[in-house]
Structure 1
């Protein structure tokens, strides 16, 4: 039996607060450069640094305002020749030679597209997140981009919200770990490395709780909930050294984030010591007018800057109104100076003053073999096996003919997912292409898509798909969402498969041949009916450039699924919001429920037990958080706690044996959950506190140790003080959030 010890979290990227490097310490020499340059700047030049524009027109048009020092940053310029030309104007033709900061949305890859962040989170592997961000940084920086607006680390518990695709799901701890890893990947070992780009955790803060799952909508998150659930990932990003932050579009409790001094000054600056750039989201300063929080652009600029915003994205209210606001005494000169200090500091840290230009003769790093290999690995580890009846997968040598159907089988653009400005479908390998290329000598492939695209309602060709299914040994049905159906402003009220995809699956299932449903989507979908019709279900949050080869290897057994759900899958939309870390009610649901079709006629009003569940959906989700199958099985045994009684300074060690009891080498994602039984405020029924990936050969057993400092049981209590409260705790070690035997321990003062 092998011994596997999961050391204190900083060594395996499992803790993100206590062991990460934190905000960069002040460099006295750098600060002296900032102060010297600041002392030479006119008010107009200072305000110019606070102005970010989107690239437009020709070089000559942009040069006019660059020469005047009226621009600090440019968005959406990815032509290296133009970047150098614009930078040359700023450095060599403006009065003070302050370089531009070139920015771009590089969310899950630049050219080599990795799985969407929600997919990366399904890997429960921070190395996947860090490597994906590193590849994105190397590729994007090669064309001049030195700032990206990622990671998105909003906690999202409503899959109707289109932007759930951009984040890491519903869990605070998982999002903290993965978000910090992305920051490290984007920024590398040093911001001054030419291959590093400044990360920008977003959206600060609470955007994932938008009412009704509708983008840009209001939120109402009380401070305690904000501090316990929504702020920790952003603090973890700060500890990881994030260079910039972006304010969110939403108002919370009536205060838009771009004008919220509490979160920007009190929390971000004072509590966390952040000294980088705070930038608005696209026009979010002037959108406070639509919110009804500012009367006009002048008041929007006033509220933004006084709240702690340093740079305005594209809406120009700063450059047009700050001179007058300063003259009127409504904005202090010192406020402007502090904002410009933050901007100059990041530009110095990025090395832009010393190395502003690109080497135009440098060989391309785009689509490097190592990048494609990393993207494939990420896609493999992100795939989630939700069902596998009768060992349908992997496909064995007994399978001679496969029918490939569905609109996502050969949709290179769609499988890249949302927020892919620079990915190219010509470089994307689809499942159809990969199966033919990699396994065409092993099986005969019959391809009849049945539907042209995911929203297609024309059922004419479904009969062809069914005929193909009848001739095959196994049906591979590729369904899901086009990329346009998730991401910003792409919210849904209905999470069923769109178009006639459900009819397609029903038609091929009617042939009696086993159906393997492969989903590619940007969110959890309500696919209970399709799961029932399928022998196996493999779920892939849009897998990116190398999704095809990854899925092919998984289907044919060259790789074994290990992904777990990073967000709860509801049975139906009416259950939303639905997440595992909920509080108990005073009448929690019983495990035996009487559902609507089983209620006797004229049943007594209280005969069902009066507990908290839906008559038509019950209590449980379709699939819980942390769920995912493998081609093998795992057995947890001999779970032991280092002590049943601990004080607040102790470290709890949890040891157990994990055995691969099947026939395939595979990886299990071990998850450790706790419950604080009684608190000064109600606490979640379970909270994820540790996870690790354990690889095992068939029959192999390993002794595993997870270590959890008692200090990480702290929360904001009834007095809004972060503390560990003494009392009883439950603990579970399992492969998902719903299983495992409970152990108990006590924390004493």
Structure 2
């Protein structure tokens, strides 16, 4: 008996010892993710849970001493006392963060810093939860040494989703190998207000094009598996309807009905959700009086219950506290935190929207344990799915090799080439001959590296960037004289030398003048806590070039400074002039459209912009970029997007109502012919399909790309619909004289509308199909009929 009792005690002791040594469920990679999340939540204190929802500013979390990189005292304090779960923009460098080429991190150092940050989080905390590192990457990772691609408005001008997916995959790799896990992008706001400062970050004014570009970015960033080591979580921005603020004021109130919200502003987000996006950022604005960061309809009813979103939501920087300070729909910070998390906003980008305020809200019983666990669980789930508990570190040697690889630089050039839009080419001034004896290169953006790159760009060594001047010099014959004169600045009217510009133009066979705008931040500008610039109408100091980029809203769209005077003076010389535009938003191009024979729009073309523009100027690349946002003749026309609802807009006393250049517009060095439009429809079992076929032929002697565009009109409907709406498009390469058949399939989703009962339906009746090279360049048109009504499921749409 005593023996048995002793043996039992030994067995119990051994079992207890084993239990103490056994791996916790949440650390066992063989256990299903749901069980791991549940186990970890059960072990966490309220303070630890709240901390997991704080994503704080990361660039102060490391310290650099010469070539040695480690963690800062601020980071230790944030982890030890606040139990933070994530960092944002740790590797970011720009004037706002005050990180420069000297005190910032190169890719190998970035990986080293990321590893050090992870090591402390894993080894010096009670539960060893790894850190999420989120980075900005809309047109390249916003870090020193990364590849800089064209900004989003240029990316969409390629009309080439497959190319964007390749680009996004390259960006993801550059972020991931440096230790990042989340990439902020794509921006899926529709830009129907060109005065708004962030047009450059969008894919333009159209929901269908924006949807396809957004899906391409999501697939490229996230890849097939988050455990690949080269992919990141994609964070969509901004939910919802952020790009149409009244008066163009960034973050301002928007005016839209729910039908328009569903039909125009939400489809790109829904498309990204269906593509599997795992993170969505709320926007600063309100919709119908409810801030987006505390909007339960958007964040829970629509996003999760109707669409089945499986990731986590995150605030824009400071938008939770903005519920109180901007929108004034909460009386205290804890109330603002409660409104946000109860509505379904999971993560706090800032660290001061939740944190102690969410703890206070919890203690005041404004937030339940169930709601808190819901938010924390969504964040933890993706840390498990990414494999961070098993492998939180990266290889510093890979970072040095894979960031800004030769292949990525060549890809940046390809994206830039495909993005260039040829707006005008009178008498075939372009392409230029490489054997010209003299060229004048003039203008504030001809040899300015930062003006070429757009907002959200890190500091660059000059050797990284090829300007237009350098690109031209690299194309022409050795004996060609290339004369450069800046002429003026973008905004500062004290930096003017028109006489030198005129002299250079007079002595040249052709003048290439590079004008536009700038989103280049400088170290003198003051910035808000959100990173947006503080803009004042007057300034006694030297004026920076920046007239676009977050916070730089415009009252007019005119060329600023002395640019118009410079252009007119050069044109007056009689020398043939080619204008190259580098900018982030549509500008007033009326005068140059009337007086300049050739105009190229390159948006912000990125680090290889100079080479790409030179490729187009000299005919080594045949341009096929197409506008994704209409260019107005006057701000008095706004809004001027192509797919406005009926009735069609009437002319003004001073001018017509049409834009100067409409959505989809762009020229080529080739000519294309459209023929043989045919539509065949089939209807069965609550479904409809319209098969559209037509032929496109390159009738010129030069190979080139054409962007075939299909627009649809619902001729009579129970609610008002757009005059026309893009439904399908394809960029196709055609050799000289070659003809190809283009086939598009229209389904119920392409034909549906939201009826008066707010139901998604396809109504019986006549539809008009229009195909051509732009929204206002319809080559072929025909009609087809739908006989039976179709009702679509809410969850699908």
Any idea what the Cα deviations from partners look like across 1:73-104, whole Å, max 9, x if unmatched?
Answer: 01121233222111111111101110000112
* 1:203 aligned partner: 238
Is the Cα contact below 8 Å between 1:66 and 1:90 reproduced in 2?
Answer: yes
Secondary structure of the residue aligned to 2:358 is helix
Is the Cα contact below 8 Å between 1:645 and 1:745 reproduced in 2?
Answer: no
Per-residue deviation at 1:422? Answer: 5.6
Q: Which residue, out of 52, 70, 85, partners 1:72? A: 85
Secondary structure of the residue aligned to 1:518 is strand
* 1:20 aligned partner: none
Is the Cα contact below 8 Å between 2:682 and 2:689 reproduced in 1?
Answer: no
Asked if residue 537 in structure 1 is aligned to residue 605 in structure 2, the reply is no
* 2:169 aligned partner: 134
Distance 2:147 2:552 in 1: 24
* 1:275 aligned partner: 310
Larger radius of gyration: 2
Q: Which residue, out of 381, 389, 392, partners 1:353? A: 389
Asked if residue 286 in structure 1 is aligned to residue 321 in structure 2, the reply is yes
Task: Point out which structure has higher relative CO (alpha carbons under 8 A, 6+ apart).
Answer: 1
Per-residue deviation at 1:739? Answer: 2.1
* 1:146 aligned partner: 181
Asked if residue 437 in structure 1 is aligned to residue 474 in structure 2, the reply is yes
Q: Which residue, out of 568, 584, 587, partners 2:646? A: 584
Closer, same or farther: CA 657–341 of 1 in aligned 2, 3 Å: same
Is the Cα contact below 8 Å between 2:346 and 2:375 reproduced in 1?
Answer: yes
Asked if residue 61 in structure 1 is aligned to residue 74 in structure 2, the reply is yes
* 2:32 aligned partner: 29
Is the Cα contact below 8 Å between 1:647 and 1:747 reproduced in 2?
Answer: no
Asked if residue 339 in structure 1 is aligned to residue 401 in structure 2, the reply is no
Per-residue deviation at 1:450? Answer: 1.2
Any idea what the Cα deviations from partners look like across 1:211-267, whole Å, max 9, x if unmatched?
Answer: 111101011222111110000100111111111010100011111100100000001
Any idea what the Cα deviations from partners look like across 1:604-650, whole Å, max 9, x if unmatched?
Answer: xxxxxxxx221212121100100000001100011111249899523
Is the Cα contact below 8 Å between 1:648 and 1:748 reproduced in 2?
Answer: no
Asked if residue 745 in structure 1 is aligned to residue 781 in structure 2, the reply is no
* 2:719 aligned partner: 681
Distance 1:689 1:40 in 2: 51
Per-residue deviation at 1:421? Answer: 3.1
* 2:738 aligned partner: 700
Distance 2:573 2:89 in 1: 50
* 1:84 aligned partner: 115
* 2:450 aligned partner: 413
Report matched runs for 1:245-644 at 5 Å.
Answer: 245-290=280-325, 291-362=327-398, 363-396=400-433, 399-421=436-458, 424-441=461-478, 443-451=480-488, 453-458=489-494, 460-483=496-519, 484-585=546-647, 588-589=648-649, 612-643=650-681
Closer, same or farther: CA 660–50 of 1 in aligned 2, 3 Å: same
Closer, same or farther: CA 473–648 of 1 in aligned 2, 3 Å: farther
Distance 1:397 1:154 in 2: 41
Per-residue deviation at 1:352? Answer: 1.2
Asked if residue 161 in structure 1 is aligned to residue 196 in structure 2, the reply is yes
Q: TM-score, normalised by structure 1?
A: 0.91
Distance 2:462 2:207 in 1: 34
Per-residue deviation at 1:455? Answer: 1.5
Is the Cα contact below 8 Å between 1:115 and 1:543 reproduced in 2?
Answer: yes
Closer, same or farther: CA 86–239 of 1 in aligned 2, 3 Å: same
Number of aligned residue pairs: give it: 698
Is the Cα contact below 8 Å between 1:387 and 1:538 reproduced in 2?
Answer: yes
Q: TM-score, normalised by structure 2?
A: 0.85
Distance 1:361 1:634 in 2: 49
Per-residue deviation at 1:425? Answer: 4.4
Closer, same or farther: CA 657–647 of 1 in aligned 2, 3 Å: farther
Any idea what the Cα deviations from partners look like across 1:302-338, whole Å, max 9, x if unmatched?
Answer: 1111111111111423221333322332211100011
Secondary structure of the residue aligned to 1:113 is coil
Distance 1:450 1:33 in 2: 64
Give structure 2 stretches of 5+ with no counterpart.
Answer: 1-29, 64-71, 92-109, 520-545, 789-797
- Higher mean C-alpha displacement, 210-219 vs 639-648: 639-648
Is the Cα contact below 8 Å between 2:300 and 2:343 reproduced in 1?
Answer: yes
Per-residue deviation at 1:202? Answer: 0.9
* 1:3 aligned partner: none
Q: Which residue, out of 77, 98, 112, partners 2:147? A: 112
Closer, same or farther: CA 425–718 of 1 in aligned 2, 3 Å: farther
Per-residue deviation at 1:423? Answer: 5.1
Closer, same or farther: CA 336–422 of 1 in aligned 2, 3 Å: farther
Distance 2:122 2:753 in 1: 49
Is the Cα contact below 8 Å between 1:45 and 1:68 reproduced in 2?
Answer: no
Distance 2:267 2:449 in 1: 36
Per-residue deviation at 1:60? Answer: 2.7
- Higher mean C-alpha displacement, 487-496 vs 316-325: 316-325
Is the Cα contact below 8 Å between 1:567 and 1:579 reproduced in 2?
Answer: yes
Closer, same or farther: CA 575–648 of 1 in aligned 2, 3 Å: farther
Per-residue deviation at 1:654? Answer: 1.4
Secondary structure of the residue aligned to 1:467 is helix
Per-residue deviation at 1:557? Answer: 0.3
Q: Which residue, out of 128, 150, 156, partners 1:97? A: 128
Secondary structure of the residue aligned to 1:379 is helix
Per-residue deviation at 1:48? Answer: 0.7
Per-residue deviation at 1:509? Answer: 0.7
Per-residue deviation at 1:459? Answer: 6.9
Distance 1:376 1:442 in 2: 26
* 1:213 aligned partner: 248
Secondary structure of the residue aligned to 1:502 is helix
Distance 1:228 1:438 in 2: 47
- Higher mean C-alpha displacement, 612-621 vs 319-328: 319-328
Is the Cα contact below 8 Å between 1:670 and 1:693 reproduced in 2?
Answer: yes
* 1:41 aligned partner: 44
Is the Cα contact below 8 Å between 1:584 and 1:685 reproduced in 2?
Answer: yes
Distance 1:442 1:659 in 2: 39
Per-residue deviation at 1:275? Answer: 2.0
Give structure 1 stretches of 5+ with no counterpart.
Answer: 1-26, 590-611
Is the Cα contact below 8 Å between 1:515 and 1:533 reproduced in 2?
Answer: no
Distance 1:352 1:424 in 2: 33
Distance 1:422 1:108 in 2: 14
Per-residue deviation at 1:65? Answer: 3.0
Any idea what the Cα deviations from partners look like across 1:97-138, whole Å, max 9, x if unmatched?
Answer: 100001121120122111100100011110222122212111
